[in-house]
């Protein structure tokens, strides 16, 4: 387990130091949500109604932007192949890296949703559910995204193929993320059910996704 924590610590430190990944994800999310109301127009009711869907879609896209870097630098600099030469299974290495990605990209993106909600005319008592749903749902995105990042590792411009491969797998998270928020906003159902399903998606992704990811990495190291 020492390798797991060493890698987690290193990846978080690198991500903060290099800054690019978090900065681009947060900046992209902010700019898209900022220009959207300008395009749609000042209809406050309409904005309020489309807010959950919009915020979730921009969250997915911002997170996708950062995914192609997940294994790329370690692959290019040769650290990934050395990591396969250790007692630590590659699956656990994948968990450490995807967890670091969630902590440095998923969590900041979730925490910025209240600021974006303001732009979409959500009232402050609705911010809580939005952030909570994002925090519960984003681990699934980091872990499922790792599969795509590992598959496109050896490819030139793999970053462009990654969204095509991986966005379909984000759909369940999108659906339950949006439904939990709308159910809370418009009191149209029990939002706790949707949150539970979001959590189930995240937990099953954390457990299952490392296996195909590690297999794809092994293939790409050949």
Partner 1 sequence: MYSRFKNGTKRTLVALNMALKIEDLSLKRGNRLLINKLSFSLNQGESLLLTGPNGVGKTTLIRSIAGFIEPISGQITYKPEKAKAQTDEEDENRKECMHYIGHKNGIRTSLTVLENLEFWKAFFGANTNLSSIIKTYFLESLINIPAGYLSAGQKRRLGLARLSISKRPIWLLDEPTVSLDEMSSNIVASAANDHLKEGGILIAATHIPLEIPFTQHIQLKKNIEQDWEEII
Residues 83-142 that bind partner 1 (CB under 8 A): 83-88
What's the closest the beta carbon of residue 25 comes to partner 1, in angstroms? 18
Nearer to partner 1 by Cβ, of 43 and 77: the residue is 77
Report the distance separating Cα 91 and Cα 107, nearest Å: 22
Which among 39, 28, 37 has a CA at the least distance from the CA of 121? 37
Binding segment for partner 1 (CB under 8 A), chosen from 68-76, 117-125, 151-159, 184-192, is 68-76
Residue 144 corresponds to which tokens in the numbers above?
Answer: 């499922």
Task: Tell me which DSSP letter residue 102 carries.
Answer: I
DSSP H helices, the chain, are: 2-18, 20-40, 44-67, 69-76, 79-83, 90-101, 107-111, 113-119, 127-151, 158-186, 191-208, 210-220
Nearer to partner 1 by Cβ, of 84 and 131: the residue is 84
What's the closest the beta carbon of residue 207 comes to partner 1, in angstroms? 22
Binding segment for partner 1 (CB under 8 A), chosen from 2-10, 36-44, 61-69, 139-147, is 2-10
Buried b (16+ CB within 10 A) or exposed e, 125-149: ebbebbebbbbbbbbbbbbbbbbbb
User: Pattern of binders to partner 1 over 71-90, x per CB under 8 A?
Assistant: --xx-xxxx-xxxxxxxx--
221 binds partner 1 (CB under 8 A): yes
Taking CB under 8 A as the criterion, the residue among 2, 42, 156, 187 binding partner 1 is: 2
What's the closest the beta carbon of residue 20 comes to partner 1, in angstroms? 10
Q: How many CA atoms lie within 13 A of 128 on its CB side?
A: 3
Give residues in contact with partner 1 (CB under 8 A).
2-3, 5-7, 9-10, 13-14, 17-18, 73-74, 76-79, 81-88, 221-222
């Amino acid at each position: 387990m020492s390798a797991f924590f060493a890698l987690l610590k290193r990846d978080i430190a690198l991500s903060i130091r290099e800054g690019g990944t978090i900065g681009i994800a947060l900046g992209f999310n902010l700019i898209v949500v900022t220009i959207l109301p300008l395009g749609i127009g000042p209809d406050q009711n309409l904005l309020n109604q489309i807010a959950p869907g919009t915020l979730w879609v921009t969250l997915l896209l911002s997170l996708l932007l950062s995914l192609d870097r997940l294994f790329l630098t370690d692959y290019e600099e040769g650290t990934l192949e050395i990591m396969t030469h250790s007692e630590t299974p590659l699956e656990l290495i994948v968990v450490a890296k995807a967890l670091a990605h969630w902590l440095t990209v998923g969590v900041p993106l979730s925490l910025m949703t209240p600021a974006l909600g303001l732009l979409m005319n959500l009232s402050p008592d609705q911010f809580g559910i939005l952030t909570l749903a994002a925090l519960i749902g984003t681990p699934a995105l980091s872990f499922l995204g790792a599969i795509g990042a590992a598959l496109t590792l050896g490819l030139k411009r793999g970053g462009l193929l990654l969204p095509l491969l991986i966005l379909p797998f984000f759909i369940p998270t999108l659906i339950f993320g949006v439904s939990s928020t709308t159910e809370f906003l418009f009191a149209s159902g029990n939002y706790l059910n949707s949150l539970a399903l979001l959590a189930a998606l995240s937990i099953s992704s954390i457990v299952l996704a490392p296996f195909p990811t590690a297999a794809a990495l092994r293939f790409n190291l050949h």
